[in-house]
């Protein structure tokens, strides 16, 4: 399952008041996180991603992921097992003179795929595929 969001950051958005928002996701496991920085960002656009208040990209809360014309990729395994089923983002562009648009991508694995041969996971796969209990 892939969740994608383009976020436009106004020029000179300060670290102290970054653009904030959420990506709606589902109960699953985050396998991969990608942030695409177009050319022109010049390592001046920074991104942070959180699940609730827990930093997940980068893991150290004081740091920001930055790049220029590069797709930053993190292979991971974050089990999103309870609400909020959202990833919060914070993005700044301190010192820039143009707006920039970054692309956020969250690639997730359905929970039932972790243990595909268990009875419980088989039931969950049916619920996901058919939109409810089988026979409803």
How many other CB atoms are found less than 10 A from the CB of residue 13? Answer: 20
Domain annotation covers residue 10: yes
What is residue 133's predicted lDDT score, i.e. its pLDDT? Answer: 52
In a domain, 35, yes or no: yes
Number of structural domains in the chain: 1
Rg from Cα positions in the chain: 17
What dihedral do alpha carbons 95, 101, 40, 36 form, nearest 10°? 120
For residue 87, pLDDT beyond 80: yes
For residue 135, tell me if it sits in a domain.
no
76 falls within a domain: yes
**What pTM was computed for the model?**
0.84
pLDDT (average), residues 81-104 = 96
Tell whether 136 is covered by a domain.
Answer: no
Residue 98 lies inside a defined structural domain of this protein: yes
Average of per-residue pLDDT across 77-86? 90
- What is the structure's pLDDT at 135? 43
Higher-confidence position of 41 and 27:
41
For 47, the domain range is 2-130
What is d(CA 30, CA 25) in angstroms, rounded to the nearest whole number? 10
Residues of the chain with pLDDT > 90: what percent? 76
What is the per-residue pLDDT for 106? 98
CATH number at residue 126: 2.60.120.380
Mean pLDDT, the chain, integer: 90
């Amino acid at each position: 399952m892939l969740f994608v969001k383009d976020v436009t950051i106004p020029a000179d958005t300060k670290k102290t008041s970054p653009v904030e928002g959420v990506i709606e996701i589902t109960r699953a496991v985050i396998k991969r996180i990608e942030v695409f920085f177009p050319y022109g960002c010049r390592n001046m656009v920074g991104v942070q991603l959180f699940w609730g208040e827990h930093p997940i990209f980068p893991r150290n809360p004081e740091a920001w992921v930055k790049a220029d014309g590069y797709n930053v990729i993190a292979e991971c395994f974050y089990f999103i097992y309870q609400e909020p089923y959202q990833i919060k983002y914070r993005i700044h562009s301190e010192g820039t003179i143009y707006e920039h648009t970054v692309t956020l991508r969250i690639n997730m694995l359905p929970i039932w795929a972790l243990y595909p041969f268990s009875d419980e996971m088989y039931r969950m796969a049916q619920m996901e595929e058919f939109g409810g209990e089988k026979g409803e």
